[in-house]
């Protein structure tokens, strides 16, 4: 289970923002104080807890707990929790993207990434923060707010963002 869980966790950030594509081909390490996996059937669960740290290439994930659920032998959901769970990764253009939230849920079959609880996503292009954001990785659609809380988006002027690799 651990190699499958790690592979899924590695896809969290690349889907969110054109992350360093070579990271997917790098070895991954997962460190935690405890792990508890049940693989007795195709509907299983693996929990990593206590100072969870996942590193693959430039991708760094830190959380108090990482829970991976499988249905029918396929990854159904990955839940990262903590005060706060964080993700950091270098982009293909050399810039860095940071995200944090109290709870990060990845649903690969639905291609959804949900950040809840004082989330914040930051990159040189700008930032977005609030209480809940749902990101559809297939369409690129991002939805924030709508629950009575405020959302703050900051968009940097084009001149303030670094040039993409290769010109432009």
Which structural domains are found in the chain, ordered by start?
2-160 (2.60.450.10)
User: Can you give the pLDDT at residue 49?
Assistant: 95
User: Can you give the pLDDT at residue 6?
Assistant: 40
User: Can you give the pLDDT at residue 21?
Assistant: 61
Q: In the 8-state DSSP scheme, what is residue 147?
A: S
Mean pLDDT by 10 residues, the chain (168 residues): 40 46 68 88 89 84 90 85 87 83 86 87 85 80 81 80 48
User: Can you give the pLDDT at residue 143?
Assistant: 87
């Amino acid at each position: 289970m651990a190699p499958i869980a790690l592979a899924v966790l590695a896809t969290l950030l690349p889907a969110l923002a054109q992350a360093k594509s070579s990271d997917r081909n790098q070895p991954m390490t997962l460190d935690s104080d405890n792990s508890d996996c049940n693989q007795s059937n195709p509907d299983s669960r693996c929990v990593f807890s206590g100072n969870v740290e996942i590193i693959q290439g430039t991708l760094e994930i830190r959380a108090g707990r990482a829970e991976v659920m499988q249905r029918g032998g396929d990854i159904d959901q990955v839940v990262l929790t903590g005060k706060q769970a964080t993700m950091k990764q270098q982009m293909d253009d050399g810039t860095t993207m940071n995200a944090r939230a109290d709870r990060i849920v990845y649903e690969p079959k639905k291609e959804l990434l949900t950040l809840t609880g004082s989330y914040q996503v930051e990159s040189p292009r700008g930032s977005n923060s609030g209480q809940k954001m749902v990101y559809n990785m297939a369409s690129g659609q991002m939805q924030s707010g709508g629950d009575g809380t405020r959302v703050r988006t900051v968009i940097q002027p084009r001149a303030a963002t670094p040039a993409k690799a290769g010109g432009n």
